[in-house]
Amino acid sequence: MAALGFFFITLPCLATAAFTGFAACRAQRRRAFKVLAAALLTTGLTRALIPIGIIVWFLTL
């Protein structure tokens, strides 16, 4: 049950934090912030889509 809590509660919260960091870094002018924004976007999308993938996987069983 703890694993389900991690996947369905913690990962979406971390995705929200990554998307917030993405928006903050995207607004900056320096190139280093643009690279950090791209990294935050990919990690945020990954963390947001994992719970959806688990639900789809459970539905196919």
Q: Would you list the domain boundaries of the chain?
A: 18-60
pTM score of the predicted model: 0.84
pLDDT in tens, 44-56: 999 999 999 999 9
Torsion of CA 56, 57, 60, 61, to 10 degrees: -140
Which residues, including other chains, have CB under 8 Å from residue 45's CB and lie 6 or more apart? 15
How confident is the model at residue 2, as a pLDDT?
A: 81
